[in-house]
Structure 1
């Protein structure tokens, strides 16, 4: 169209009395995909504006076929353009027809997902990382399509790349953790590239949930604890300071550890501190008593302070699920010959944490006061009711205990066993006798060890 004609057409279309009718015509084209249906002429001003455009005057209150307006613009007006072309010129954008737009979105997101799969081989990641990432992507293609719609094709690709590279850099089991900001800087060039709110963060957490399904099942999906546990399972720490493990009675040959033991004070250790002293820590008499709850730890510390500091047993509190500081300390103790006795709550989370400890340290960890009889002793009438099936996942590690808890349908807490835990510690300090290292034996007699003093 000649520029002068385009200018004249825009002048007619910008008539303020034509605005409502143009909106109706645009809506009709969007809805039908072609000139179909009819529109009503509501006023004389609208009739005059339409006549100026098409040369046809319609009595106000009457209707006109959209196809008729289109034909007049094409064949009888000086502009020789379609109605759709006129409206696109007026609006400055193509008409987005639902079917075409839907097909475009589908094609775009399919292309985006395909490009994500094509990207992986070019990244040079390890076979293990490739297997994990490709397995997650195949299992969650529908989510990736939704991501492509929400973020756009390029943003999805830009998020997949650092996730795959992050899996390539995850530490091996037992290796020191990596810190989230450092990992982000390595895989995105930005220390905040894996922060919450970024597409790469969302994909990383979802990929970890697929990779560590048992960890993902322990907390409410999407919660802060859920995300933190998944990062921890992969060996990723937020930073060297924010995670800690609470301790009392650690042993070791360094001046700091000797002074700490002599003063008889409890001490939280961060990953940063453990990186400095982890190679020196020992458990007194090569035994560490590990509890889930800080209230229990405080009660045990109060009791053992009646003994001289030289005879303080080693106590550790995980404060719930094992974080990276918990694992780092327990790993160090076990590597130096310690045997762990772990005790926790009698609910789904408590049994699962205990199962984690036993699985992580086979032969070097035993449950502490976590038998059916201990559960019955700890149970109170005000115990919290459990959902049916809550402890099913723990049945593999604690079949009899899980069955008893399921039958009663009530949780019991470690706090209810504090007197029994105190007696165990006293016997260990005074007689050198540990709790059972194997749980309940078939003959019902717990096997115990006597530690030389």
Structure 2
């Protein structure tokens, strides 16, 4: 196109007042629709109306809405020399090549079919998995746990190899992961492959595909196909639990309490403790620094505290379940950020607890007390509900400030020492 034509096109259709018209036309082209008929803009501004009048060389009608004939625009652009390719060509010149959304959709669908090809070949020979395979499609689980069809293909190919090995009696999950996907941690909780594989294990065991999401449910699902989990890696940190003299785990807890030292328990030890652990009140914290500071300051006089240390491991859940079975009540504190809120909500849903300086009043009080300190960190991430105190989520969203557990460590230790005056202690 000549320089004169380019300038003329820019003058007729390239300004911000005409962008709505170009957007509408481009969208039609992307969808494969013809550039015929009219498009209408409701509540058009005077500038938008004048731009159409300049383009068409006539008044654009009256009223609040503005209707433009695409056939007329195409004719004007061709006859004026602004765009020899008419309206279609003008949009390409102004905005660049037009996507073919129909073709892209077809290609995406083909890529997702290819991603499932190896898995579908395995399922074809395993009729017991046919319902599970349909469930994957119905729930969209694969698309939720993978970023795109390329990642899905890698994960599903590994899943297909894994399914050929199941059931596999007596094999540790780490060894199974190493032998089927070349990564001993490939079936760790939270990995996309693990999420899909445990649902397949439930299907092979005749259980509901989704399960209840707990560590015990996952353990049972794997056990149903002969796979046992590592019982030594998941640990839980605690302080001040009474223990007993009747079991190895109970004696460890009793000795640690007498010495005023933190105790680290493995999932293996807790699963072999077959009776409830009896305590009246147990405080739960999110970060190990609370346990360390309490051991330093209070030693053997510290009341029972359990640290979830981020997302609770199977060992954490098992210890809390043993305490709940023994009649314990719980009080919870964690970081005032969305990650901490998510952890707290998971514990609240499973066990129930009352706040330990972990509600709206405590959050606002901490911010007020921090006016003279260096600025606190901004709160980022997606807001989460706070069912124990619905107003807390709203307050955190409004204030947009995170408060880490370390910032209120002194108050928490005062509560543990029995000298605090917190109404929640």
TM-score bucket of the superposed structures, by smaller chain: 0.5 to 0.7
What is the match of residue 268 of structure 1? 264
Query: In structure 2, do the counterparts of structure 1 residues 184 and 319 end up closer, same or farther at CA, with 3 Å as the change threshold?
Result: closer
Q: Distance in 2 between matches of 1:382 and 1:263?
A: 39
Q: Distance in 2 between matches of 1:137 and 1:164?
A: 23
Is 2:357 the partner of 1:369?
yes
* 8 Å contact kept, 2:236–2:264: yes
What is the match of residue 385 of structure 1? 378
Structure 1 residue matching 2:283: 3-state secondary structure: strand
Query: Rg bigger for which structure?
Result: 1
* 8 Å contact kept, 2:123–2:129: no
Q: Distance in 2 between matches of 1:420 and 1:204?
A: 34
What is the match of residue 340 of structure 1? 330
| Larger deviation, residues 249-258 vs 292-301 | 249-258
Deviations 1:203-227 (A, max 9, x none): 9932556899xxxxxxxxxxxxxxx
1:248 CA displacement: 0.9
Deviations 1:330-355 (A, max 9, x none): 11111121112111011111111111
Q: Distance in 2 between matches of 1:202 and 1:248?
A: 28
* 8 Å contact kept, 1:123–1:165: no
Is 2:106 the partner of 1:120?
no
Q: Distance in 1 between matches of 2:366 and 2:133?
A: 47
What is the match of residue 205 of structure 1? 191
What is the match of residue 407 of structure 2? 416
What is the match of residue 243 of structure 2? 252
Deviations 1:130-173 (A, max 9, x none): 6754546675399785369x76xxx955633526987x99xxxx
Q: Distance in 2 between matches of 1:355 and 1:238?
A: 26
CA RMSD of aligned residues (A): 4.8
1:351 to 341, 352, 357: 341
What is the match of residue 282 of structure 1? 277
* Residues 48-447 of structure 1 aligned to structure 2 (within 5 Å): 110=113, 113=116, 116-117=119-120, 119-120=122-123, 122-123=125-126, 133-135=136-138, 140=143, 146=150, 159-160=159-160, 162=162, 182-183=172-173, 192-196=179-183, 205-206=191-192, 235=218, 239-254=230-245, 256=251, 257-277=253-273, 279-280=274-275, 282-284=277-279, 286-305=280-299, 309=300, 312-362=302-352, 365-379=353-367, 380=370, 381-387=374-380, 390-395=381-386, 398-427=389-418, 436=424
Query: In structure 2, do the counterparts of structure 1 residues 264 and 211 end up closer, same or farther at CA, with 3 Å as the change threshold?
Result: same
Query: In structure 2, do the counterparts of structure 1 residues 354 and 164 end up closer, same or farther at CA, with 3 Å as the change threshold?
Result: farther
* 8 Å contact kept, 1:235–1:324: no
Query: In structure 2, do the counterparts of structure 1 residues 426 and 136 end up closer, same or farther at CA, with 3 Å as the change threshold?
Result: same
* 8 Å contact kept, 2:283–2:304: yes
Query: In structure 2, do the counterparts of structure 1 residues 139 and 435 end up closer, same or farther at CA, with 3 Å as the change threshold?
Result: same
Query: In structure 2, do the counterparts of structure 1 residues 160 and 393 end up closer, same or farther at CA, with 3 Å as the change threshold?
Result: farther
Query: In structure 2, do the counterparts of structure 1 residues 211 and 238 end up closer, same or farther at CA, with 3 Å as the change threshold?
Result: closer
Query: In structure 2, do the counterparts of structure 1 residues 368 and 129 end up closer, same or farther at CA, with 3 Å as the change threshold?
Result: farther
What is the match of residue 55 of structure 2? none
* 8 Å contact kept, 1:296–1:415: yes
* 8 Å contact kept, 1:240–1:272: yes
1:366 CA displacement: 2.2
* 8 Å contact kept, 1:378–1:414: no
* 8 Å contact kept, 2:262–2:292: no
Q: Distance in 2 between matches of 1:208 and 1:376?
A: 40
Query: In structure 2, do the counterparts of structure 1 residues 117 and 413 end up closer, same or farther at CA, with 3 Å as the change threshold?
Result: same
Q: Distance in 2 between matches of 1:259 and 1:283?
A: 16
* 8 Å contact kept, 1:242–1:270: yes
* 8 Å contact kept, 2:122–2:164: no
1:296 CA displacement: 1.7
* 8 Å contact kept, 2:122–2:163: no
